[in-house]
Amino acid sequence: MMQMLFYILKRFAIMAPVLLGATFVSFLLLRLTPVDPAKAYLSVSNIIPTEQTINAVRAQLGLDRPFWPQYGHWLWQLCRLDFGTSFFSKLSVSRELVARLPVTATLALLSLAIAIIISIPLGIAAALRKNHLIDHVCRLLAFLGASVPQFWLAYLLIYFLSVKLNWFPLQGADSWLHFVLPSVTLAFALIATYSRLLRTGLLESLDEPFVLYARARGIGTFTVVGRHVLRHAIRPVVTAAGMNLGKLFAGTVIVEQIFSMPGIGVFFLESVYHRDYPVIQSFIFITVVVFVLGNLAADVIQAYLDPRLTQETGKGE
Amino acid sequence: MFRKFKGLYISFIFVLLLPVILAGCKTDLNKNTESSVKSEGQTPASTEKTLTISWPKDIGPLNPHEYTPNEFFAQGMYYEPLIDYGEGGKLVPRLAESWDISQDGKVYTFHLRKNVKFTDGSDFDANVVQKNFHTILANRNMHSWLGLISQIDKTEVVDAHTFKVTLKNRYYPALQEFAVVRPLRFLGAAGFPADGDTAKGIKKPITTGPWVLSEYKKDKIAVFTRNENYWGTKPKINKLVVKVIPDGEARVLALEKGDIDLIYGEGVISLDSFVNLRDSGKFETSVSNPVASRALIVNTAKGPFADLNVRLALQHAVNKRALVDGVTNGVEKVADTIISSNFPYANVGLKPYDYNVEEAKALLDKAGWTLPAGKTVREKNGKPLEIELVYMGPDQIEKPMAAAIQSDLKQIGVSLKTTGVERELRNKRMESADFDLLFWNTYGAPYDPHSFVSTNYEKGYGIFESQQGLPMKDKLHQQMKDVLLTVDEKERQKLYTSIFTTLHEQAVYLPISYLTNIAVYPKYVKGLKFPAHRDETPFSMLDIQK
């Protein structure tokens, strides 16, 4: 237990330089882009840029100061969990994110949950009934999941389940019902990946001598799979899910756009078009945090499944 | 075998059917959501007429004096100007009943409409007009893009209903610019922040206009209720609901489902979707008169287009009819001149360039660009005739149009490289005149033609720089400056005629099409008439007759 705690603390210690590096790189890269956010603001506002207006906007946005003071100021604000003020909405980025984060987080976690809940029985069934109907169905699902574009699936779901059958609302994020179609859209590709990963892992583990020995002792298939085999076979799925959490968080934009969900995906996309530096920097920072925490969570679960992974030396390293 | 894994199969089928099971439980929830919106009106549901529309973005804070994130359409429908821009650019009274212009063209005296109240019950008078002008002029730099703001010397309250604006110089478009959506519209005194500077935000959107904001959920919905104390013609509908739907296709699906009653605007849905909805027979569709122009800016300052014959060849080589029909399904209109003739001073009888491939080839031969035997690209002194067209990569219209123009020019032996870049990079290339051809739209009504000419002579925007290859550039740009200072109508028309003729004859633009507003709505929506003003909306004129 102490070993696990020490392992988690060590991982947290490594997070700090990673996050600092991410803030600096994103800050620097944005300022190296050839477009002036002041001009972007004028262009979006449909204002003919004159020298006077450009200077007025630059002063308003604090872009007339040198690089290091700008970076230092932003970092200092970040330490106090203040993400600055949006160039465009003139509102606090923290407030905007707090208002939008629940939508995106719910969408990402719900998609992941749906994907895991469906892909585990699907993967087990496909492995246990190799080359039977259920396996072929899973293969077809995996093929579709990998090849159907997300936006197209979203439109199909909207057209049939919302417009034609009126089962689900078409846009918004006011109730849990609004999350069903977008979550299914996001989960579809994940189900394909996870179920195939699990199937492969299970098939490998089912060939292990300990499975043969367990069966020889008269233990039933379900018990063998549930208690022994799944523990090994699910590890690649845990790793993938940990990676996907960050990906989902950063990749909900298309689904949010189509389903008119006021999450941070759409907010970020607009900020990129507008060169809204404070929002872009904040989004990158949060995404890095989610990626790091997602990987950490995956590693902790892996360590729980195989404690050797937390040892400094030995087989698990 | 099935018995062995019965539990597994049943669990799996249950999980797959879960969304369907949940769907069965949702109907009531939906009803609750809808009724919650409907219960917010001021009149009983039985007599209430609600029009639901969608918009790609949130309406913003409804600050009449500021820009993004305030949406144009919302500011335009909510706040009122002194003067309105009517059909054919005719200026009509709104909050000003009438106005006088001094002999020297510098002093504008507005006689304000009496008995006009703001939505908080306060009076609309010269003092509140002055208060609005004060905050606008305090941020003069921000608004300096509007010629009128730069020209205002002082403002003065003559009496409760008379307001005077004095300009530094004569500036004929002043009246037209009093009609723009922002920043010259009027907020009630109680809506101002404590320090009176609306650039930092407003307390409350208090207006004299036909609507009152009654409910607002940022990025989701805005509900406007009819202003029962409105001084003018009250809207026929009681309530206007604006839903935020960022995606164009989702907007179409929302209309088909009946979640919204109207799709209105410029570029709000793909033109393919517009045609599909039109052809479905389920909806009424309308297209407005030209509101602005889509054109290519031709760079005369460098490369092959420094030669007039090459520019003229371009005019004859592009099949505009095929472009407009093929790409916009005929929703936009073929443009023969850079400013449509329905704009003020723009009907000057210019002869359109016809689509004539042979004529284009002959002009290129005349310019010395000949086609070597066995080659497909013309050359001059061993140099191939290669040009670049810059367009906005994500634009659904510019991209296919660029490809079609490339194919048209190939026919006359011109190699066209098309470069798609995102908006800000395209703006950067435009400002530095780093292009041979570049897609550009004019500002439209009520800004044109005067804003159009100022963008031509102002340095740093890219158009002035692209006209440096013209032999008469100095005279042309001087005429453009002069026309804004004229007080004599005949002289003004004469100057505009000369300007438009020179631009046309020198082929510095390739006009392609005129942009239009579109509207798609079910048959129960009545009374749609497009405003002449590009940024205004027809919502207050609409009726619902189910």
Can you give the CATH number for the domain in which A121 is found?
1.10.3720.10
Instruction: Indicate whether B203 belongs to any domain.
Output: no
Whether A297 shows a pLDDT value over 90: the answer reads: no
* CB neighbours of residue A106 within 10 Å: 18
Q: Are A282 and A23 in contact (CB under 8 A)?
A: no
A97 touches chain B (CB under 8 A): no
Helices (H), B339-449: 357-366, 398-411, 423-431
* Cβ pair B141:A163 closer than 8 A: no
Whether B40 shows a pLDDT value over 80: the answer reads: no
* B470 and B522 together in one domain: no
Instruction: Indicate whether B204 belongs to any domain.
Output: no
Please report the pLDDT score of residue B349 as a whole number: 93
* B118 and B267 together in one domain: no
Give the domain extent around B125. Answer: 80-197
List pLDDT tens digits, range B388-441: 999 998 788 999 999 999 999 999 999 999 999 988 889 889 999 999 999 999
* B371 and B502 together in one domain: yes
Instruction: Indicate whether A93 belongs to any domain.
Output: no
* B225 and B162 together in one domain: no
Q: Which two tokens stand for residue B406?
A: 């490339």
**Nearest Cα to A309, choosing from A3, A12, A14?**
A3
Whether B35 shows a pLDDT value over 60: the answer reads: no
* Residues of chain B found within 8 Å of residue A155, distances taken between Cβ atoms: 249, 253
* A173 and A227 together in one domain: yes
**φ and ψ at residue B50, rounded to 5 degrees:** -115, 130
**Nearest Cα to A186, choosing from A109, A128, A117?**
A109
* B406 and B482 together in one domain: yes
Q: Are A256 and A107 in contact (CB under 8 A)?
A: yes
**β-strands B239-244, B415-421 pairing:** unpaired
Q: Which two tokens stand for residue A298?
A: 């995956």
Least confident of A302-316, B12-26, B360-374: B12-26
Label residue A311 by pLDDT band (50, 70, 90).
low
Give the CB-side neighbour count of residue A242, counting CA atoms within 13 A.
Answer: 17
Whether B23 shows a pLDDT value over 90: the answer reads: no
- What dihedral do alpha carbons B468, B425, B251, B272 form, nearest 10°? 60
Q: Which residues of B162-181 are buried (b: 16+ CB within 10 A; e: fewer)?
A: bbbbebeebbbbbbbbbbbb
Label residue A294 by pLDDT band (50, 70, 90).
confident
Q: Which residue is it, tokens 């005949």?
A: B490
Rounded Cα distance between B483 and B495, Å, is 6
The residue of A181, A260, A272, A277 whose CB has the most chain B CBs within 10 angstroms, and thus the best one to mutate to test that interface, is: A260
Q: Which of B150, B177, B197 is where one domain is finished?
A: B197
Instruction: Indicate whether A98 belongs to any domain.
Output: no
DSSP assignment of B462-501, as one string? SHHHHTTT-TTHHHHHHHHHHHTT---HHHHHHHHHHHHH
Q: Which of A79, A111, A134 is where one domain is finished?
A: A79
- Cis link prior to B446 (omega < 30° from 0)? yes
Label residue A309 by pLDDT band (50, 70, 90).
low
Instruction: Indicate whether B67 belongs to any domain.
Output: yes
The residue of B13, B36, B145 whose CB has the most chain A CBs within 10 angstroms, and thus the best one to mutate to test that interface, is: B145
* B503 and B413 together in one domain: yes
User: What residues of chain A, 245 to 264, have a C-beta less than 8 Å from chain B?
Assistant: 257-260, 262
Whether B9 shows a pLDDT value over 90: the answer reads: no
Q: Is B319 exposed, middle or buried (0-12, 13-18, 19+ CB in 10 A)?
A: middle
* B346 and B487 together in one domain: yes
* A268 and A172 together in one domain: yes
A77 touches chain B (CB under 8 A): no
* B172 and B213 together in one domain: no
Radius of gyration of chain A (CA): 24
Radius of gyration of chain B (CA): 27
* A66 and A111 together in one domain: no
The overall average pLDDT reported for chain B is: 90
Look up the CATH number of the domain holding residue B507: 3.10.105.10
Rounded Cα distance between B190 and B194, Å, is 9
Whether A111 shows a pLDDT value over 70: the answer reads: yes
* A259 and A137 together in one domain: yes
* Cβ pair B460:A45 closer than 8 A: no
Q: Which of B197, B222, B238 is where one domain is finished?
A: B197
Q: Measured between CA atoms, how close is A57 to chain B, in angstroms?
A: 7
* A162 and A299 together in one domain: yes
Instruction: Indicate whether A159 belongs to any domain.
Output: yes
Q: Measured between CA atoms, how close is A311 to chain B, in angstroms?
A: 37
List pLDDT tens digits, range A29-83: 888 887 888 888 888 887 878 788 888 888 888 888 888 888 998 898 888 888 8
Whether A315 shows a pLDDT value over 90: the answer reads: no
Q: Which of B197, B226, B241 is where one domain is finished?
A: B197
Q: Which of A79, A111, A126 is where one domain is finished?
A: A79
Average pLDDT estimate for B483-491: 91
Instruction: Indicate whether A229 belongs to any domain.
Output: yes
List pLDDT tens digits, range B236-268: 999 999 999 999 999 999 999 999 999 999 888
Please report the pLDDT score of residue B16 as a whole number: 44
Q: Which helix (H) or strand (E) holds B84?
A: strand B83-85
* Cβ pair B145:A169 closer than 8 A: no
Contacts of A280 (CB under 8 A, 6+ apart): A26, A30, A268, A271, A272
Instruction: Indicate whether B418 belongs to any domain.
Output: yes
* A43 and A179 together in one domain: no
Closest residue, chain B, to A170 (C-alpha): B254
Q: Are B372 and B379 in contact (CB under 8 A)?
A: yes
Q: Which two tokens stand for residue A176?
A: 């849990």
* Cβ pair B244:A88 closer than 8 A: no
* A26 and A116 together in one domain: no
The segment with the largest mean pLDDT, out of A57-61, B172-176, B502-506, is B502-506
Q: Which of A79, A111, A137 is where one domain is finished?
A: A79
- Domain total of chain A: 2
Give the domain extent around A230. Answer: 103-314
Q: Measured between CA atoms, how close is B52 to chain A, in angstroms?
A: 14
Q: Are B466 and B301 in contact (CB under 8 A)?
A: yes
Number of H helices, E strands in chain A: 15, 0
Assign 3-class secondary structure to B266-322: CCCCCHHHHHHHHHHCCCEEEECCCCEEEEEEECCCCHHHHCHHHHHHHHHHCCHHH
* A133 and A45 together in one domain: no
* B236 and B318 together in one domain: no
* B33 and B174 together in one domain: no
Look at residue A229 and give its three-state secondary structure.
helix
Whether B212 shows a pLDDT value over 90: the answer reads: yes
Whether B298 shows a pLDDT value over 60: the answer reads: yes
Percent of chain B beyond pLDDT 90? 79
* Cβ pair A121:B11 closer than 8 A: yes
Instruction: Indicate whether A38 belongs to any domain.
Output: yes
Task: Count interface pairs A-B at CB distance under 8 A.
Answer: 146
Whether B57 shows a pLDDT value over 80: the answer reads: yes
* A55 and A108 together in one domain: no
Look up the CATH number of the domain holding residue B178: 3.40.190.10
- Is the Cα dihedral B143, B144, B145, B148 positive or negative? positive
* B183 and B69 together in one domain: no
Contacts of A223 (CB under 8 A, 6+ apart): none
Q: Measured between CA atoms, how close is A168 to chain B, in angstroms?
A: 7
Q: Please state whether the predicted TM-score (pTM) of the whole model is above 0.75.
A: yes
Rounded Cα distance between B127 and B125, Å, is 5
DSSP, res A224: I
Rounded Cα distance between A279 and A266, Å, is 12
* A56 and A144 together in one domain: no
- Domain total of chain B: 3
Please report the pLDDT score of residue A274 as a whole number: 83
Least confident of A95-99, B24-28, B336-340: B24-28
Q: Which two tokens stand for residue B492?
A: 């003004």
Contacts of B139 (CB under 8 A, 6+ apart): A56, B65, B183, B197, B199
* A8 and A107 together in one domain: no
Contacts of A47 (CB under 8 A, 6+ apart): A53, B67, B145
The overall average pLDDT reported for chain A is: 84
Please report the pLDDT score of residue B537 as a whole number: 93
Rounded Cα distance between B261 and A253, Å, is 26
Instruction: Indicate whether B181 belongs to any domain.
Output: yes
Instruction: Indicate whether B231 belongs to any domain.
Output: yes
* A75 and A110 together in one domain: no
Contacts of B399 (CB under 8 A, 6+ apart): B391, B393, B420
A179 touches chain B (CB under 8 A): no
Q: Are B508 and B476 in contact (CB under 8 A)?
A: no
**φ and ψ at residue A107, rounded to 5 degrees:** -60, -45
Whether B30 shows a pLDDT value over 80: the answer reads: no
Instruction: Indicate whether B131 belongs to any domain.
Output: yes
Please report the pLDDT score of residue B494 as a whole number: 97
* B59 and B192 together in one domain: no
Instruction: Indicate whether B241 belongs to any domain.
Output: yes
Least confident of B302-316, B326-340, B402-416: B326-340
**Nearest Cα to B505, choosing from B365, B398, B369, B350?**
B350
Instruction: Indicate whether A73 belongs to any domain.
Output: yes
* CB neighbours of residue B84 within 10 Å: 20
* Residues of chain B found within 8 Å of residue A64, distances taken between Cβ atoms: none
* CB neighbours of residue B362 within 10 Å: 15
